[in-house]
Amino acid sequence: MKDYVSALITIHELKTMAETLQHQGYNDVMQQEMNFIHKNNTWTLQLPPDGKRPIFSKWVYKKKYNTKGKVEKLKARIIDKGFEQLNGLDYMETFAPVIKWSTIRLVCMLASQCNWNINHLDVKTMFLHGELHEQIFMHQPKGFIKPWKEHLFCKLKKALYGLK
């Protein structure tokens, strides 16, 4: 485990984005998030067409604790402010695939009765795989604005958390 996890500053003590970027732990996880985004070709930088209004994004931070109550790892996600989207203009319908608890219980019961093994899978960046058909533009994330391209916006190719 990295040294910065044991000597954490609470997120409430970090007043500005500059302070957050200087905090080694949060800086590392924010960079990892941006690496996932770029690796998955989530957006391109370009100007929006006339009349297309870019939405804003924000960083969300979370601490994961172990069973002893100590911080085990830090998480940072870039999310877009989907509440700024307008129905009929920025999106036509919403869809969020989820699994019902009754289905999980049924599979566990079958596995138990049939002596099947159950494996758990956690996909960190599943949200990055949802292809978009609408034209959605977003302001570049704070702390990661490309030099000499400050006037450009992120044209989303794939969904981010918060998008409708």
C-alpha span between 135 and 62 (Å, rounded): 30
Q: In the prediction, which pLDDT does 45 show?
A: 93
Report helix, strand or coil for 72. Answer: strand
**Higher per-residue pLDDT: 103 or 133:** 103
Query: For residue 63, what are its two tokens?
Result: 């601490």
C-alpha span between 13 and 106 (Å, rounded): 45
Closest CA to 75 of 89, 65, 86: 65
Domain ranges for the chain, please list them: 3-158
> Which of 40-44, 62-66, 147-151 has the weakest average pLDDT?
62-66
User: Do residues 21 and 145 touch, judged by C-beta distance below 8 A?
Assistant: no
Q: What is the pLDDT of residues 30-61, one digit of tens each?
A: 888 899 888 888 899 999 888 888 888 888 88
Full DSSP string of 9-69: PPGGG--SHHHHHHSHHHHHHHHHHHHHHHHTT-EEEEPPPTTPPPBPEEEEEEEEE-TTS
**Higher per-residue pLDDT: 4 or 137:** 137
Q: In the prediction, which pLDDT does 9 show?
A: 45
Q: Where are the alpha helices (DSSP H) in 52-155?
A: 101-113
Q: In the prediction, which pLDDT does 113 show?
A: 93
Q: How confident is the model at residue 136 (pLDDT cuts 50, 70, 90)?
A: confident
The pTM for the full model equals 0.64
36 vs 30, 75, 118, 124, CA distance in Å?
Answer: 10, 13, 28, 9
